[in-house]
Structures are given as structure tokens and as C-alpha cells.
Amino acid sequence: MGTFDWLQFSERRNVDPVDDLDRQMRRDSFFTQATLEEHGRERRKIEAYVAALLDLLFERGVIAPEELGAQVRAKQAQQVEEAAAERAQSPGMTQWPAVVIREDNDGAPDTPDAPVDCAARLPICGAVCCQLRFPLSSDEIELGRVKWDLGHPYVIRHTDEGFCSHNDRSNGHCGVYDDRPRVCKRYSCADDARIWSDFDNMVLNEEFLRERLAGDDFVFQPGGAEMAATPVALIEKPGSSAR
């Protein structure tokens, strides 16, 4: 038996970062599947327990099946009404975890109502608008040029520092400018009070900046009046009664 060459062995184990990422993604997929299966087994146990309990209650005349059914339907209707009222109060917003896809108004132009000289403002704002969060449209998702957050489909992906993953922090420029989302093409900070406390004199809204630095990565925050008004298609979780 020859002498074991640790250096040669360790060199053979070096892998390409892309291959390693692919392996990690597959492991994550397996973990997610195993977790869902485990939750499914626990849910079936609870369902069996509840079904047995209801059977006993029905047999002993404690409750009537028709009365329980009516009460359940009433509660479901109440939940639907409450969910609709909550969305009406916060248009375009949704709580994580959820899957969101933007629905654009095809009749609207792809230019902002109030164009802004970004080059003149970049030294002051540092492209703070690239910290705003919004969902991609189905066309942008299928095009595949803009990255979305794997932890919050299909919200545009941000870095740990809170900026869009396509923003070049050395100069504030967009790395996918020609293929940037339609929301970005239409956006103007001229009427966004969260960015500027005084737009004409280039005074930033420091309160908003501090909130962004301390913000939750999973909070869905559309940016600006234009983004906040953008319709969002919410894909309900399986089994949800809200529509």
C-alpha cells in the first residue's frame, strides 16, 4: 500500500463554485421535501384525532353535524371578509410567506411622469431607490434577466446590505439597465416623500434610511407612489379560503 498523499487528495476534492451551489440547492430541495413530508404525517395524525373526537361528540349528541357545518361555513365567510378588508386597506401589500407576481397595466407608458436627473443625485442618494422592494411580472420572470428572492418568490432579489442585487455599489448603476423591470422604468423619486424630505434641495429623508437599515428582509415594501399602486397577483397557499 502506497503512502497517502493528503495534498493530492484535497486537490481532487476541490469543486467548482457553481457545482457546489447546485449541490447545495439540491440538498435544500431534499430538506424542504423531507420537512413537508414530516409535516404531512403530523397533520394526518391531528386529522385522525379530530375526526375521532367529532364522531364521539356526534354519537353522544353533544353537537349536531348540521350545526357544526353551519358554524364552520360562517367562520370561513368571516375570514374571507376580513382578508378582503385587510387588502383593501393596504393595496399591493402582502405578508410573507406568500408568492406574489406583479400585474402591469399594459396601457401605461414605460416612462416616469416626472423624469429625474439621476446622475446629479447619485452622489447624494447613493441609489437608495434600489433598496425598494417589489414583485416581478410573469414576463420578467420568464425572461430570466432579473434575479428574484428565493426566500420570497417573486420579489426582486436584494443583497445583505439591502440593495438590489443588480446594483453596482461602486457607482450606483444598474447591471441590467436595458432589461430592468418595468416598475424601475416607470419609477420617479420626484414624488416619493420617503426618499426626499426636500426634493428640490436634495435633502434625503433620513428617517426612511434608518428604517431601511433596520428593516426585515422579508417585509414586502413596494417603492414610491407608482410602485405602491401596482396591482399584485397573490398566489394563495394551498388550502387557503381567501380569494
Query: What digits encode the pLDDT tens for the residues 45-63?
Result: 999 999 999 999 999 999 9
Rounded-to-10 torsion of CA 81, 84, 86, 88 = -140
- Residue 222 pairs in a beta bridge with none
Average pLDDT over residues 184-202: 89
Question: What is the C-alpha to C-alpha distance for residues 8 and 22, in angstroms, rounded to an integer?
Answer: 24
Indicate if the pLDDT at residue 18 is higher than 90.
no
The model's pLDDT over 152-183, given as tens digits with 9 standing for 90+, comes to: 888 898 887 788 989 988 888 999 999 999 98
pLDDT tier for residue 101 given thresholds of 50, 70 and 90: confident
CB distance 181 to 156 below 8 Å: yes
Q: Please report, rounded to a whole number, the percentage of residues in the chain having pLDDT higher than 70.
A: 74
Lowest-confidence pick of 24-33, 84-93, 135-144: 84-93
Helix runs in 168-205, H state only: 182-186
- Dihedral sign, CA of 114, 117, 120, 124? positive
Question: What is the C-alpha to C-alpha distance for residues 137 and 236, in angstroms, rounded to an integer?
Answer: 17
Indicate if the pLDDT at residue 39 is higher than 80.
yes
